[in-house]
Amino acid sequence: MRKIPRRLARAPISLFKAGLGWVFGGVLVMVEHTGRTSGLRRYVVLEVVIPEAGAVVVAAGYGRRSQWFRNIVADPRVRLWRGGVVGVRAVAEVLPPAEARALLERYRREHPLRARFVARALGIEGLTSADPLPADVGERVPLVRVAAVPR
């Protein structure tokens, strides 16, 4: 898998922190998570694969070794920035691989241009093909549902 340059990946964080997440049109969200060893707050900006009422489904494009992914597995309590909503308490849940595969199929069908861009940027095979996704894609590209905690 290819890496997006760190500066580019982190550029939207200051906009989200300033309450300007709406400029991304709901395509991107920011998740604050806790470092599993340091205990420090960490931030990651992610593309929304599937928007849901009160939640979003995002992909760990770099797989299960992504630091943010490992952090939310260790502590699923996070905060979510979505559009104009700033830092609401939320819980992250790693989806089973079969559900992840089905949602990635849906994403590919509903957003073919974005799927092609993401596949090329991250080197994820299969997202650009018309063939069925490989059976192991939900394991290689895990999906995470981040759901706001009701007040």
Q: What is the pLDDT of residues 13-66, one digit of tens each?
A: 989 998 899 998 888 999 999 999 999 999 999 988 889 989 999 988 888 999
* Longest Cα separation, the chain: 43
Helix/strand/coil (H/E/C) assignment for every residue in 95-130 = CCHHHHHHHHHHHHHHCHHHHHHHHHHHCCCCCCCC
Confidence of residue 121 (pLDDT cuts 50, 70, 90): low
**Domain extent listing, the chain:** 6-148
CATH topology classification for 6-148? Pnp Oxidase; Chain A (2.30.110)
Q: What is the pLDDT of residues 56-107, one digit of tens each?
A: 999 888 889 999 999 999 999 999 999 888 899 999 999 999 999 899 888 8
